[in-house]
Structure 1
Amino acid sequence: MHLASLLVAESSLLRVSARQKEEVIRLLIESLAQTRGVDVPLAIKDITSRERKGTTVFSGERNGVAVAHAVTAACKQVLLAIAVIPDGISWNRSDGPRLKVVFVLIAPPQAHGLYLKALSRIGHLCEADKMIDALTQANSVGELIARVSEGEASLGEIVTDDGMPSFCVLGAGHGGTAMAGHLSMLGCKVNLFNRTKARILPVKELGGIDVRGVVSGFAPLKKVTSDPAEAIFGMDILMVVVPAIGHAEIAELIAPHIKDGQVLVLNPGRTGGALEVAQVIRRHNPRVRPFIAEAQTLLYAARVTNPGQVQIFGIKNSVPLATLPAYHIIDVLPMIRKALPQFVPGDNILKTSLDNIGAVFHPAITILNAGRIEDTHGDFEYYVEGVTPAIAAVLEAIDRERVEVANALGIRATTAREWLYLAYDAAGRTLFEAMRANIGYNGIKAPPIIDHRYISEDVPTSLVPIVSIGEMLGVATPAMRSMIFLASAMHGVDYWAEGRTVDRLGIANMSVKEIRFLVAGADSGSSSPPSSSISQTED
């Protein structure tokens, strides 16, 4: 990574006529806000606070540059902008030297290491009058950035991983590409793995990802590969970002190569993801002991827009994360939060698995609108026009069954209505009213075809495990069972046979006490271990 890649061209300014440093800082921050969504009042407050502790001026023999900088929650990535002031400005006092170049550098707390390296690089770059003269004589912003790039060419890459964990992102779809790009821009070493070479070839040729949206810039990657051993070697955290139906295959691919202490996170786990992956890894590599975790939902709303390019529309403020067993959260979460503080502790994997709202909405809405989807190719608003009072009544029946299965396990699951209020501030006396009150659903189109992940992923990895657990514990789930039957008939696939049944999760014939013991923290040395193969020591 270089300074030139951190510079925001659209927010850098030539021929600024400001007379006071506060004015220059505000101009640059407001310009960054227009292109990068910076919280202007907070950024200015934090920069002002940092300025009171001491200003940062790098000087040559004749000229100097000022750097207004701060670590602040006002931004989501490291941002750098330049202002050139032809008449100069007195930075500290009226009789002080007049500076013609001002940098603004801001960074989120988790990118503190990259922030310090960038600040040091600016000082190195601007210790000579020749560079400062080149910046002041630039005739365009493009020329300005070219001067910076030329000046730091001999300095090499900014080494950015001090104190930050390294990541391998497994999966180069929308979410995986977004995660890899975001982590790189925070200063982490990142490898990207994908099972098919064709998808990652453009990224490999570019050497990274063109990231746009709420964070923006070029994100260089350490390795881009389809070799699982090469991808995960030496990496601290392995982020699996593939459809849940691919979790078992990914686990099988990496099982021979994963090492003790590496952290494997499913993004998200859907229902029973951590249990299934633990079974697969134990079967293929019984002696290894990685940490296994699952997120409740995906951190990003993103879309791959062109080969090697991703648009990040949003990054969630918080996503619950749970480990298997639960007590490992204190080992796993602090390391992940160094880069991604949005992850917060979840109760356990039963809670993250059963608070799976996609299980309620996706299969039923799609199946009950099958005729309309095939007739219009999905040209209607999925959550608005696709949810009538009658369909909402079916969703409520499915939701009640999910909550009852959770209750049988001693888990207080969030209802779909509660989730809509918590996630979107959408309230209603019924689920139908709450969904209609959610303006975030406006404009979201239905899938264009029936052969869609809302069925092919959510039925086997969400509905099947909930129903299977429910039946084992004596909880009736007729509405969910009906959806599994209809989905199987529509697709000509036995989703029950392919899905995450209790056998596949390794919890068949276990009591509630045994399941909770396993999830909370059973080990093979316990005096009364549960009967699951997950907890058995294999020699």
Structure 2
Amino acid sequence: MEIAVLGGGNGSYAAAIDLTEKGHHVRLWRRNQEAFRSVLESQAIQVKDSRGTRMVPLKMATSDLKEAVEGADLIVIPLPAFTQRTVAKRLAPVLEDGQVIFLPPGTFGSYLMARVLVEEGCNADVVFAETGTLPYLARKYDEQTVSISGRATRLPTGIFPSDQSDHAFGILQKAYPSIEPIEDALDGALMNAGPIIHPPLILMNAGPIEHFEKWDIHDEGTQPSIRNVHRSLDGERIKIREALGYNPPHFPLEDHYSDEGEEWMYGDGAHEELVDGEDWYEKLDLKTHRYMQEDIVCGLAFLVSLGDWLTIKTPTATGLLAIASSIMEKDLREIGRTMENLKLSSLSKEDLKEILENGIKQYETQ
């Protein structure tokens, strides 16, 4: 299958490697030509995983977006949520009918990007998909080398608009057999583990993160009190899912940490594998890291706004967002990715469900 992978981060490099080794024809696009120079020259990426270290040649590495996207059946975008608006504007002139755009994860970026495409006058009939996590536990060592320490075994995924689910899943599951169909894109957005796992880890570890040169939030930083906050925050996510009519499995974060319960997205024992390695023992810039800019400014703000829209109390999410706002010296409830800023807060649940099923254009023409 012809696949375009967009971005130069951990997930993008891992996706390019994984999909190439599965036999697909992968074109990897990155905007920053200087940082991408070694890959552009070699047309290959080095990977380190359980099979050892090896160079993997790509079908194409390019800084030309049209060249990457043209003729692709699937476009994989493992970029941070805060880049989605800009990426959608870049994609608008080059997209083609029938293409599936996969956001792993999406933070409800499927709706945001579809809205931007309409605003940009894009007439291509494309479909979005979003899931609950990156398909990989991965970290780049340098601009040509990525380490992959784990792969997702279950990827609950929703489609926007959901009436195109059959077409989208037919393409997606050729690339990712671990994808599990769920109801729609908001269902997929509310599977996103990032806004649940990362806000307590970075906010409650703010002292050591800013003091030490390196800090592993998943090892030393994961202590019983923080796990209690995880449970409370995840409980609020599940209440919101239930209020919207989404059925189990809800993929509770507890299953990631425990050997009991159902298999979580990265499989049983994934947390132990995560802390056994050293890839997450790293320097974090608290204000600029994607855990803040994506998982809090986008993901946690969205969760809080959904709770407000549904009149469901979310004291843990609201409190964490307030603490993050103090750290950032900005009102993240005001400026983040929210129902208000997505222009959805005036809708009823029925109106929202209609948009999720039929898309933006169909809803606005009625």
Task: Return the TM-score normalized by structure 1.
Answer: 0.60
Q: What is the aligned length?
A: 354
Equivalent position of 1:227 in the other structure: 64
User: Which residue of 74, 88, 93 corresponds with 1:237?
Assistant: 74
Match of 1:338, SS state, is helix
User: Which residue of 119, 139, 143 corresponds with 1:303?
Assistant: 139
Shift of 1:427: 4.2
**1:460-539 alignment, distance < 5 Å:** 460-519=297-356, 521-522=357-358, 535-537=363-365
User: Which residue of 198, 207, 216 corresponds with 1:371?
Assistant: 207
Unaligned runs of 5+ in 1: 1-164, 429-435, 524-531
Q: Is the 8 A contact 2:45 2:56 kept in 1?
A: yes
Unaligned runs of 5+ in 2: 262-268
Cα distance change, pair 440–426 in 1 and its aligned pair in 2 (3 A): farther
**1:109-124 alignment, distance < 5 Å:** none
Cα distance change, pair 533–464 in 1 and its aligned pair in 2 (3 A): farther
Cα distance change, pair 506–230 in 1 and its aligned pair in 2 (3 A): farther
Match of 2:156, SS state, is strand
| Post-superposition CA distance 1:375-404 (Å, at most 9, x none) | 22343x524543444433333332222222
* Residue 168 of structure 1 pairs with residue 4 of structure 2: yes
Shift of 1:294: 1.1
Shift of 1:193: 1.0
CA distance in 2, matches of 1:284, 1:214: 44
CA distance in 2, matches of 1:453, 1:218: 28
Q: Percent identity?
A: 29
Q: Which has the higher contact order (CA 8 A, sep 6+)?
A: 2
Equivalent position of 2:228 in the other structure: 393
CA distance in 2, matches of 1:191, 1:368: 40
CA distance in 2, matches of 1:361, 1:454: 9
| Post-superposition CA distance 1:175-213 (Å, at most 9, x none) | 111111222233322211112112221111002222332
**1:115-514 alignment, distance < 5 Å:** 165-214=1-50, 217-269=54-106, 271-379=107-215, 381-412=216-247, 418-421=252-255, 423=256, 425-427=258-260, 439-440=272-273, 442-443=275-276, 445=281, 448-451=284-287, 452-514=289-351
CA distance in 2, matches of 1:395, 1:221: 39
Cα distance change, pair 358–338 in 1 and its aligned pair in 2 (3 A): closer
CA distance in 1, matches of 2:4, 2:70: 9
Letter in 2 for 1:475: I
Larger radius of gyration: 1
| Post-superposition CA distance 1:46-65 (Å, at most 9, x none) | xxxxxxxxxxxxxxxxxxxx
Letter in 1 for 2:24: C
Task: Return the TM-score normalized by structure 2.
Answer: 0.86
